[in-house]
A and B are shown apart, each in its own frame.
Chain A
Amino acid sequence: MHIDVTVQQQDFDIAVETAALRVLDTGIGAIAQFVGVMRSNNEGDEVTAMELEHYPGMTEKAIGEIAAEAGQRWALQAVRVIHRVGEIKPGEQIVFVAACSAHRHAAFEACDFIMDFLKSRAPFWKKETLGDGSSRWVDARSSDAKSLARW
């Protein structure tokens, strides 16, 4: 199983990533993907920018472990995860998860699983700048903790 995890400031191109996954293994029949995008509002307030802080080293390690666990639960050929850090603006891409398997159900479920665990385990923290110029740290959502319980 191929696992490729990148944490980077620059944006990514999902067409490029998908093309790379298709040639990795000719047994891949299904590629399920998720893209997380920054919204311009949160908790009823206008958000003009976001700073994504992380714990270098542990982020890659934690996501790699989550991908490996997905590979234990489902028959996967590959997992690709890209998570951006630094300054992000509304409408920009934040995170990409792709799970590849022979058939679609494993790919869909693994992609969902990886995102749920990334949201709860991977050491990233978002600080948003609001329309009035103030900034605040985003709070973890209780719905994310509940999502984990599904697995």
Chain B
Amino acid sequence: MITVLFFARLREELGQSEMQLAFTGSVAELKQQLIEQGGAAWSALAGENIVCAINQAVAKDHFPIAAGDEVAFYPPVTGG
């Protein structure tokens, strides 16, 4: 099982802050699966500015996700 977290505007668009699911594969494959299963609002995940992190480190589309990983998707950051 993996944990997937959503933050900020993306969380509001998807209507969900956290989910657990059984998954192994790449970041790109996870996005594709969530978009296919989630419905119209989930196309927001495909936005070119959406950032992915695996275990709190920024990850690219080809990075692998393993069981037990914490994955996060979020919009461009605006701290400071």
Contacts and interface: CB of A to CB of B under 8 A. Distances in A.
A125 B53 contact: no
Contacts of A137: 8-9, 75, 78
Contact of A83 (B5, B7, B74, B79): B79
Interface of B: 5, 7-9, 49, 53, 56-58, 72, 74-80
Contacts, number: 69
B72 A140 contact: no
Contacts of A95: 79-80
Contact of A120 (B57, B74, B75, B77): B77
Contact of B80 (A53, A58, A122, A139): A122
Contacts of A125: 7-9, 74-75, 77-79
B80 A115 contact: yes
Given A61-B56, A125-B74, A55 B7 contact: yes
Interface residues of A, number: 28
A39 to B, nearest CB: 13
A106 interface: no
